[in-house]
Structure 1
C-alpha cells in the first residue's frame, strides 16, 4: 500500500516557476515560495480504506485501542469501526477511559464520586454494546491545573502500554480545542515512547472539539452499523441530555460519505473493487494515519505524537529536542 501521507521533501528539486516571472505583470518572487509550500504538502485525494491499512496490524496479541478522554468519545469517534473489529472480526478491542469527566454531569444532587460512578457505568455499557474491553484509568491529572499528570499517572500509562502493546491506537487530533483531549494525545506519545512501541499504527479520529486536519483514511458503515453507533451514543444519558450527539453524528457521517468521494476525486470508496462500501454504506468515520514528517517544523513544535514517531523511528534524538519543543511558561 502506498503511503497516503508521503510528500516531497523541501530539499528535493522542483520545477521552477521562472516562466511566470516573465508572463505575469504582477509577479513577485515571494509567490514562488508560496506555491512551493502547497506543492510540497502532498497530492489531492490520497485517502484509503482504513480496513486495508489495519490488515495484519490488529491481531490476537496486539489490540485495537481507543483512548477516550471522556466516556462518550469512543462512541462518537469510532463506534462503527470498534464494533466491526470486536464483534464481526473477533479481534481484541479496548476502550481506555482516561478521565472520568464528572464535571460534565448535570445532576447537582449527586456528589463528585456519584457522578464518576454514573459516567463509568455509561462507559462500561457502551463497551458492552460495541464488544470492547473497558479500561478505566481515572488519572489524577483530571483534577490538576492544566491536566498535569502525577508520577503515579505516568507510571500507570507507561506500564499499561508496556503490558497491552496496542497494534493500533486511536487518539484525538492535535488541533483539538479541548485540553483534556490534547493531553490524552500527549499521554499516548508518552506511552508509546515508554514502552518502545515503534510498530504501533497511530490514527487521529474526529471529535466534536476540533476538526480533523487532512484525513487520509475512511471507514464506511451501513445502516445496521449506524444503529449500533446510535445505541452506543445513547448509553451516555448524562451527555445526550445536554447535546444530541446521535443526530449530530448521523448527519456528519452521511456528509463525510459524500465528501470522501469528492476527496477521492470522484472514484468509488472501494477503489474500484466490488464492495459493500459503495453498495450499502450510508456513512463514513474519518481518520488520519499519522506518520513522522521531518519537513513540518510546525508539527514538531506542536504535536507530541510527531515527536514520539520521530524518536521511535530513529529520526530524532530524545536528548536533543530543545530547539523543537517550546519552553513552558
Structure 2
C-alpha cells in the first residue's frame, strides 16, 4: 500500500480502504452485501424481462418501472463488484480514470433514479386525475422523451463534478477512506482550494432533492384530492393501492439518501466506519427492495411472472 505521506500531483492509482476500522470484518460484511447485490440483480432483471415479454404491460407505468430497474442495476453494479473485490481479495487499487468513471456513474444514476420517481409520480397523476387522456398524454414517444430528459439532466449536472475532480492536483495522499470513489471522499485528497467542488456538489444535491421532492409532493397532493372525491371507500382504497408501491419505493430511496447526506456533511460525531457502512447499505437496499415491493404489491407483474413460470414448466 502507498504510504500516506506520499506527495504527487498526477496520481495513476488510488487506494480504497473499504470500511476503515472494520478491515478484520470485511469477509463477514461481504456476506450480506453479496446477498443483497444478488437479490438486486435477480429482482431487477426479472422486472425488465417480464415487462419486455408481456405486451399487456407495455404501458407508461411499466416502462418507467423498467427504467427504474435498469437504473438500479447500473447503480449497484458501478459500486459493488469493486467493493466485494476489496473485501474478498484485498484488491484496493483503482486507476485514477476508473475512479472518476465510477464517480460519474454512481452520482449520475443516483440523479437519474430521482428523476424517474418524478416521472412515475406524473404518470400516476395523469392516470388518476385525467384517466381518459392518459393514453394521449403519455404516448410512447413522450415516455421516451421523458427518459432521455432525465438522463440528460443527470449528465449535465454531474459531469462538472467529475471534470473538477479530475483537474485538481492531488498531493496529500492516494488513500481514499471509503469503499468506492465518492465525490467528496476523492476531492478532500486534493491540495488545492476545492471549495468550488464542494459548493457545486452541495448545490446539485439540494437542487435535485428539493425540486424532485416538490414535484412528487405536488403530484400526490392532486392524486390525494382525486382519491378523496371518489364515491365509495372500496374505490378509494383500490385507487390508493395503485400508488402504494410507488410511495414505498420513494421512501426507501429518499430517506436513506437524506440520512447519508446529513452524516457525510455533519459527521463530526459519527464514526467513519459507521458512515461508510451506512453509505454502502443505502446503495444496496433500494435496488434490492424496489423489485420486491413492485413484485408483491403490483398484481399485474405478479400474475404475469407466475404465468411465464408455469408456461415454461409445462
TM-score by length of 1: 0.25
Larger strand fraction of residues: 1
Larger helix fraction of residues: 2
